[in-house]
């Protein structure tokens, strides 16, 4: 992790080739997999499991293509057992990772939730990232705009944001710069690619 939450992978420009599309992408926009001792394909969301990495773009269509075409076994040059729920498991783990990072920013005093607090952070230019629940009211969400030169995250549900902020549900949230904020944006980008929400991420608002 570099300063300001920037990952070493992003700073060094590390890239890998997607086994499904053949495209070369930065590692922080991809999902790493390994073949476990039992021959099963295992998602390595944190990129730390001690085995040869197999990389797929963080995109639902790419993941589904990798499964359908038998790309994991071909890349590993060995039989590979692909769980029926592999794509869903990747989505679940990415969502949990994003939620955990937001929670860490909250505990560090770099995240707030609730319309009024978020509005204040936006007005005072404290916020670098606006977060809004994908299942929140469109009318209510339209009253807040993405920070200038900032980011927008709209791929988490109100329940997931609630977990991040220690509440039952949350519709509006904001992150300040520094700490893990840019890592949150990276993980949310991966999640959005796999989840394919209409709200998306980094889309201009207002």
What does the pLDDT read at residue 64?
Answer: 97
- Specify whether 37 is located in the same domain as 104: no
118 with 179, same domain: the answer is: yes
Residue range 84-103: mean pLDDT, rounded: 97
**End-of-domain residue from the set 84, 115, 146:** 84
Say if residues 41 and 47 touch (Cβ distance below 8 Å).
Answer: no
Distance, CA of 184 to CA of 134 (rounded, Å): 16
The answer to whether position 186 is within a domain reads yes
What confidence tier does 1 reach under pLDDT thresholds 50, 70, 90?
A: very low
- Residue 148 in contact with residue 126, Cβ under 8 Å? no
If asked whether residues 117 and 136 sit together in one domain, one would say yes
In a domain, 201, yes or no: no
SS3 sequence of 38-97: CCEEEEECCCCCCCCCEEEECCHHHHHHHHHCCHHHHHHCCCCECCCCHHHHHHHHHHHH
Domain-terminating residue out of 27, 52, 84: 84
The dihedral sign for the CA sequence 135, 139, 141, 147: positive
Q: Please give the pLDDT value at position 5.
A: 39
Tell me what pLDDT residue 206 has: 35
Q: Reduce the DSSP state of residue 27 to 3 states and report it.
A: helix
Q: Are residues 17 and 31 in the same domain?
A: yes
The conformation of residue 37, written as its DSSP 8-state character, comes to T
How many domains is the chain partitioned into structurally? 2
CATH number at residue 165: 3.30.1330.30
**96 and 149, same domain (yes or no):** yes
Output the domain CATH number for residue 75.
3.30.1230.10
Q: How far apart are CA 174 and CA 122, in angstroms?
A: 8
**Quick check: is 206 in a domain?**
no
Which run of H or of E encompasses 14?
A: none
| Domain match, 59 and 8 both | yes
46-89: pLDDT as tens digits: 999 998 999 999 999 999 999 999 999 999 999 999 999 999 99
Q: How confident is the model at residue 13 (pLDDT cuts 50, 70, 90)?
A: low
H or E segment and range at residue 188: helix 181-195
Evaluate whether 32 touches 47 at the Cβ level (below 8 Å).
Answer: yes
Residue with tokens 């773009």: 57
Residues 19 and 33 in one domain: yes
Task: Give tens-digit pLDDT for 115-174.
Answer: 999 999 999 999 999 999 999 999 999 999 999 999 999 999 999 999 999 999 999 999
Predicted confidence at residue 10, as pLDDT, reads 52
Rg (CA), the chain: 18
Clarify whether residues 61 and 133 are in a common domain.
Answer: no
**Taking Cα atoms as reference points, which of 114, 98, 112 lies closest to residue 172?**
114
165 and 77 in a common domain: no
Q: Are residues 167 and 119 in the same domain?
A: yes
Tokens of 71: 């790309």
- Residue 57 in domain: yes
**149, two tokens:** 């030169």
Last residue of a domain, one of 36, 62, 84: 84
Question: Could you tell me the residue range of the domain that residue 101 belongs to?
Answer: 90-195
């Amino acid at each position: 992790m570099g300063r300001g939450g920037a990952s070493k992978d992003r700073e060094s420009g590390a890239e890998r080739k997607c086994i499904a599309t053949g495209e070369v992408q930065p590692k922080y926009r991809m999902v790493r997999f390994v073949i476990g001792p039992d021959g099963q394909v295992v998602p390595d969301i944190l990129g730390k499991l001690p085995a040869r990495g197999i990389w797929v773009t963080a995109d639902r269509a790419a993941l589904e293509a990798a499964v359908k075409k038998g790309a994991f076994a071909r890349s590993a040059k060995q039989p590979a057992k692909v769980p029926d729920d592999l794509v869903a498991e990747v989505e679940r783990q990415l969502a949990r990772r994003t939620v955990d990072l937001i929670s860490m920013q909250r505990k560090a005093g770099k995240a707030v939730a609730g319309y009024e607090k978020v509005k204040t952070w936006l007005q005072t230019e404290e916020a670098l990232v606006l977060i809004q629940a994908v299942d929140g009211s469109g009318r209510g969400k339209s009253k807040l705009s993405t920070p200038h030169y900032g980011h927008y995250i709209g791929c988490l549900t109100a329940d997931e944001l609630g977990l991040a902020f220690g509440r039952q549900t949350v519709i509006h949230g904001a992150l300040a710069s520094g700490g893990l904020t840019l890592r949150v944006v990276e993980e949310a980008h991966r999640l959005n690619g796999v989840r394919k929400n209409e709200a998306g991420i980094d889309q201009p608002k207002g």
